Structure 1
Amino acid sequence: MSQLQAVKLIAFDLDGTLVDSAPDLALAINAMLLDLGREQFPEQTIRHWVGNGAEVLIKRALSGSSAISSDIEESLYLQAKDLFVQHYSEKLCVASKLYDGVAESLEQLSKLNVPMTIVTNKPGVFTQPLLEALNLAQYFDVVLSGDSLPRKKPDPLPLQHLVERCEVEMADLLMVGDSKNDIQAAKAAGCRSLGLTYGYNYGEDIALSGPDFVADSLVSLLELIKGSVTA
């Protein structure tokens, strides 16, 4: 892996990148479906539906497919959303856990004084509580959730907003994520990206999205940027 130059800011995705949250998301989705008297699904199936935010996840569950049905009534979706929020809020961090290497890597990056931020499609009502539950909140100067701005990844708006807020150039930002949404957002914004081979990418190889770097863990990210950080 070649060395990365001039990193002044790192944006991390959350679900599938730092945290394996699929077990709790699956529990909440299946509890929602049970309340609605609808078919439930294995966790492995629901994992392939994660990554585009809660609305898409709920609609995929109601459709029983990654392809969202066009005949989902708004009243059904709103009922399902209320149930999902209730169940997920009650059990946000029961089975969720950090991926291997995350805690150590964030601690080392912090010691290198690398400013770190979160850019996730997860709704804000869940983002901060999850970061706090897993003792991650301390590492991030800025947290942008899926509903923080009018548009979310793969739209470039969150990354554009981030560099303006943090007063850095787009070329100095590195987006780190597990999904094509992260890579597409980075390409559209004009910053570099690192794609992680684990996580939630709809069963696709992250390399197919064309990130600048590919890694199997955040430990590789740490090695990549050592000596490349600029003040």
Structure 2
Amino acid sequence: MAALNNVAQISGIDPAERLIALRQTVPGRIVFTTSFGIEDQALSHLIFERRLDIEVVTLDTGRLFPSTYKLWAETEERYGVRIRSYHPEQAALAAQVADAGINGFYYSKEARLGCCHVRKVEPLGRALDGARAWVTGLRADQSGQRGGVDLATWDAERALVKVAPLFDWSRDRVVRFVRSEGVPINPLHAQGFLSIGCEPCTRALKPGEPERAGRWWWETDKAKECGLHVVAGGRLARDREAA
């Protein structure tokens, strides 16, 4: 809890300084989970360029876009690193597909959440096992559901500090940053895919749509999350008072 209070005091500086201060403040393992979206690429650049002792990992669902896998390889080559991947448990994935079908998520929200759990949430648990802090690419203006995102919160379910160094940045600011730094990004962003997840669950945005409208577009709920950033009941895990 003391680490949370200390990290919460650094919100007035830039993301690089926030990451450095996080590393200096929180002892033990710090994990950054990247999905290779534009925000995650910006944070990876800051971590790799400064050689920060922050472990960068990804959740390979097995249903990502080919361009995402290509960007993964390009990122490793650019920075001379290896990004560790966590995959779904084979038996759980086989059972989920046998029950719902390979694309059953289109027909049932329960099946969609089940798929997200097997392919993302459970592997995330393994990725964060033993970590003291979790770095994410969340921004407060990504959606109404994420409007309350703060720099640092306490994730009570995982018993760690959750940090969003870009929480107060706009998408335009992120775009300007990656362009100025020459950070490799997914070419799908230029084709209207502002938020990129699994290939069958992501489409390009239509004019005037909010940033995350292309994720699970067939669902009518406004609050659409895969489960990585929510607690029981579907509420986004962002409340400072949870500490």
TM over 0.5: no
Q: Structure 1 length as normaliser, TM-score?
A: 0.36
